[in-house]
Amino acid sequence: MRVNLRLIVGLGIMFGSAATADRVYLTNDRYLDGLIESESRDHITLRVEGGATRITRRRIKEIRYSPPVHAEQIEKEWKRKYFLKEAYVPPRLIDLAERLRALQAQRHQVIRAQRSLEGAAQREEQLRMEFHGINADLAEAGQKLREMDATRDVHAYNTSVTEMNELRNAAALKVDALRALPSLKQGWADLIAHYADALESLRRDAASQHGGGGETGDERVFLNRAMSELALLSGEFETHTASLLSHRAGHAVEVHINQTTTGHFIVDTGAAIVTMSEAFAKRAGLEWDAAQTMELVLANGESAQGIRIMLDHVAVGGVSARGVPAVILANAPDEDVDGLLGMSFLGRFQFSMEPGHGRLTFRDFVAGE
């Protein structure tokens, strides 16, 4: 492994007040601290934090060796700190170490997936606005083409036809991107869920080995560190609950819109998007553009027109999301409720409904540094 010498040359490495490392003085009046792994006539190999470096003899002015007890202390600290390095993994725990390394790599993918999920709503809204703009241009270009006489100015007519075709192609690309988003969002959500399952499975397996007895000292050190690391990873998942309110239309929860207005919404996992009544939207002080009207198919199979909006902030039972797509409908889905809590919000989280216990449980991934 290559080591960035600029980080360690001339600075030394801190191993604690008691232990001193081997120190290699260089001909340029700098030095390196570490543990000498091997020596030959031409060079030495010095282990440092994070790897090892080879130093030729002609660069070395002097070597001061640390007492063996200090080297043992430093080695012990490295074994604790870099417990997943192959050299420090006890043979019986190689499989567990490989799973933990894979989990750490998967975590970085999960962080990216979480960010992608958070940005998907804004991306969807942007695509819809762009599609709406292209459609307006398409209608204008179509009207212009209908008013033209192809026989009088062939070049102008052909130019307009080309413009129409380019607009149609642009609109088709936006539609394709919009159609791809649901599967992308589901893939990101599945990645987070699989990571959570793998983390819990590894935590259980590590705990069973840790408590099984008969461990060697090295195995105990490794398992202690593994359990600490798994606890940190598990701590990045936060669990929150919201009370489910029984209603003839299903189960409702309190939903806080834009941190100003609270309403009762039916939890509907079959609804792709959050919906609300026009009366609630007015109460929440929302503004909308009638040009953003869209067709919806309701749960009962009926078609309805709604106005698409973007909610700045939606919160339920301790979890919240920004940039949540929603649709304003003329009426609420039933009496005493203000709308439906659909997947444009629910899909941001792992969640489960427990009607028997009267709660909706969310598991939110909040990555640390």
Q: How confident is the model at residue 16 (pLDDT cuts 50, 70, 90)?
A: very low
- Per-residue confidence (pLDDT) for residue 183, from 0 to 100: 84
CATH of domain 93-235: 1.10.287
- Per-residue confidence (pLDDT) for residue 149, from 0 to 100: 83
Give the pLDDT confidence of 266-293 residue by residue, as tens digits: 999 888 889 999 999 999 999 988 877 8
Q: Give 230 or 136, the one with higher predicted confidence.
A: 230
Q: Which residues pair with 48 in a beta bridge?
A: 51
Neighbours of 169 (CB within 10 A): 10
* E strands, the chain, in order: 22-26, 31-39, 43-48, 51-56, 60-64, 237-243, 245-247, 250-257, 261-267, 274-277, 293-297, 303-316, 319-329, 339-341, 350-354, 359-365
On the question of pLDDT at 14 being above 50, the answer is no
CATH of domain 5-81: 2.30.30.100
Short-list 94, 108, 8, 23, CA closest to 62:
23
- Per-residue confidence (pLDDT) for residue 299, from 0 to 100: 65
Q: Is-above-0.85 flag for pTM?
A: no
Residue ranges per domain, the chain? Answer: 5-81, 93-235, 238-365
- Per-residue confidence (pLDDT) for residue 99, from 0 to 100: 95
Q: Say whether domain 238-365 belongs to CATH 1.10.132.10.
A: no
Q: What is the mean pLDDT of the chain?
A: 86
